[in-house]
Every structure is written in structure tokens, then in C-alpha cells.
Chain A
């Protein structure tokens, strides 16, 4: 499966959802639940997945986060997020 392109619309895969808010340890973390387990997300990972609502395009999400993290190299942000989403796609947690 290829990495996402600018017009892809990443979203959580069927049967994958955010844990109810009282399940999280802190304000920092949120969890995504899927059939065989859960992953804890914080920082950038969390910010990326919160934007994967099936409406926003990958291009829009990247642009948003490049603005958010002005100090970081925009190309690196794009590359890192692409790899992150590909890994989650392989685990069938994200579709795009």
C-alpha cells in the first residue's frame, strides 16, 4: 500500500475509535482502541490522529501541522507523518 498523497482523506479504520475521555491517564494522553488492543497517543502523534476525521485531506493536515510547528523542517514533518500513517495503516488502525 502506497503512502498517503495530498488528496487522501485519512480516518480511523472500522472498529477503531478513541477511548472515552475518562479512560485516559492525563490531559496529555488519549487512547485509540482497536480489536486486539489499544495505543496511547500524545504530542504530535495525537495531534495528527485527531485531525484524521475522514474530511480533512492529508495535504491539509500537513499544512496545519507545519504551521503549528513553525520551527521544525516542513519536509521532515511531512515525511514523519507519512511514515506514521503508513505504519498505522499496515496495522489496520487507519485507512486513507
Chain B
């Protein structure tokens, strides 16, 4: 029997009012009418609780777009799960926040795109920055843990210190400095998001100094982006090792990107139990153990630490889900990452002008630069 998963990522909707260029949602999103119902999610949480899972991470799209979010959080708590809301903060006035906390919300993580209003508008394709600041103030009036997730990349790493100082005064318990990862929309926009070497090195020093300065008050988490690291990330803690994601239509995945992989058939909670899916399904078993590993992974002493990196990234970059993640310096296809890095360091960083008033005009204005995330029609 394989050990139980630790956490459930409940991707409850792909609907979202924002258009962030770094979004890792699949470009092909689940339609609103295919979404699991309140009672279907309730059954999922009960199964997750019985399976021994500890955390439920509510995400999307924008989870606040679900009108039944309060019921979902209550259902997850009733099933014995710790509840974590990962949100842009758009659609959370104070009364709704109170309701969620009363329903048992343990932790809220709010994304910030920048310290500057206009820059945040560029990245998110919407004017959400002021809302987020209001929300941060409201959160401090409630007994709920608060993390700010700051997404960093080529467009904002030049003023990381300013952004940390800005976030600090919102008084979260934790700050996550999240280097954009290249899946979904972010992969399409990779050239505009890839930091320079200088960005990455400066960020390391700035974060280290901020950690010391804020020790005991605010905890900072940050990971070197894998394109600039020697070894790949242990993606999701390994395929089917610790985490399970359920997408809005009930499909059970080992991560948010796995649907891009050819030749894999993923199960649905409407048809099978979570326990069977975790323990027995071909999709979850596919990349467990070492039998699937090619060299150099198979003989590598790091194989039990990073599992050869990310399967989805291996497929997206090298066309082969069984290959060593190209982010690994030992990967035969490492040149794919090296050339993207080299390109990022030889191009000038393009400057912005003022974002256009409407989203449609903003899309036209940036047409040659990047693609904004858009919902299905």
C-alpha cells in the first residue's frame, strides 16, 4: 500500500476575473457547466479526510468565483481538513471574509503582482491592486493566518526590495517570493517572464537580507527558479507521492499541468473513489518508483530527492514525459533550458508605457509582447 497523500489541491473553478500573464492554468480550461457541485465536492472532502489527508488548498481560477465557497470550506473542515484559500482577493468584501473565517477558514494566501498600481495592472490585465491592499487590512482584523504570495519575474525583479518593503507593511505572517514557473499561459509568455542572471542573483541576496531583518515577525519562503538551478525541483514532492489535484470537472491529477501529457488517461471523482485512484489507477502509478526512469536518473544519487524533476516540463520542453527534466544540468536536453537562459540574458528588458483603460485595448497594446489569460467563451 502506497502511503496516503498529505494534501488535496481543490481547483474548484477555472473562472477568474483577472488575466495574469504568468497563470499556470491550462490554456484549455474546464467549462463552468462541467464544474463539480457542492455535494460532489463534499463527498470528495469526506473521502480525502478518511484517506488521511491533512490539508485542502482551495484554488482555481479564482476560488471566490464559486458562490458556494463558504459551504465548501465548511465541508472540508467537517471532514477534518486544514483549509487554505489561495486567491487574488478580488470578490472578497469584509462580510464575505467574516463568513469564510466563521466557516473554518484556517489560512488565506493573497497574490500580489507588484508594489506599484500601474505595474500590477500590466501583469494582471485588471485593476486589482487597490482591492488587494484593502483586503490585507481587513484580514488583519480576523483570526486567520495570512500569507502574501508575490509572483516575481523579468518585469518586476528590478525592484524586489521595494516590493518586499511594500508587502511588509501589510503585516502578513508569511511572504512567499514565487518565481514564475512555465506552465500553461506562463509557458506561452516565457520570454517576457524569464529573469536575467542578475535578477536571480540579486534576488537571492535581497531575500536573505529580508529574512534576517524580519526573523520572528514574518517568515519568507523563496526557491531559486529551476532554470537557474543546478538540479531540478522535486515537482509536487514527486508524481503521486504527496499531493493530489482535482480539477473543476472532477478529474484527478498529480499536478495542474498533467493533462498535457499524451497517452495518460486520468480518472474522475464522479466514477471512482479517491482511494482507488491514488492507490491503483494507471495514471497515478505511471511515474512512481524508479522503473520508468531513464539514465542518468536511474543511477543518480538524487533520484529519491528530486525524482528526475518535472514530467510535464520534460514533455513540454523536450517532447518526452519520461526524459530527465531539462532543468537538470545532467539532462541530455539541458541545452533547451540553457538556450532559453542565454536568450533571456542577451535581450534588453522592454519598458512599459501606461496600461490602456479597457482590457481589450490593453490586449491590443501588448499584442506583440504577451498573451493575457482569458476565460473560455
| Interface, chain A (partner B; CB < 8 A) | 1, 13-17, 19-20, 22-23, 31, 33-38, 89-92
Contacts and interface: CB of A to CB of B under 8 A. Distances in A.
Contacts of B215: 1, 90
A35 B54 contact: no
Contacts, number: 60
Contacts of B174: 35-36, 92
A93 to B, nearest CB: 10
A19 B109 contact: no
Nearest to A89: B216
Given A90-B216, A91-B219, A15 B173 contact: yes
A11 to B, nearest CB: 11
B80 interface: yes
Contacts of B362: none
A1 B144 contact: no
Nearest to B106: A15
Contacts of B55: 33, 37-38
B216 A34 contact: no
Contact of B144 (A14, A20, A33): A14
Given A19-B54, A38-B54, A91-B219, A14 B80 contact: no
A23 B144 contact: no
Among all A-B residue pairs, the 6 with the closest Cβ atoms: A15-B145, A1-B216, A33-B82, A35-B107, A20-B80, A15-B107
A23 B80 contact: yes
Nearest to B53: A23
Contacts of B216: 1, 89-90
Contacts of A92: 145, 173-174, 218-219
Contacts of B80: 19-20, 22-23
A33 B49 CA distance: 14
Interface size class of B (residues with CB under 8 A): 20 to 34
A24 to B, nearest CB: 11
A91 B55 CA distance: 18
A17 B52 CA distance: 17
Contacts of A37: 6, 55
A13 B217 CA distance: 11
Nearest to B218: A92
12 contacts: A1-B215, A15-B107, A15-B144, A15-B146, A15-B173, A16-B145, A17-B106, A19-B82, A33-B55, A35-B106, A35-B145, A90-B219
B143 interface: yes
B52 A23 contact: yes
B38 to A, nearest CB: 22
Contacts of A1: 215-217
Contact of A31 (B54, B106, B145): B54
A13 B216 CA distance: 12
Nearest to A32: B82
Interface in B126-162: 143-147
B46 to A, nearest CB: 13
A15 B219 CA distance: 14
B51 to A, nearest CB: 11
Contacts of A34: 82, 107, 145
Interface string B213-238: 00111110100000000000000000
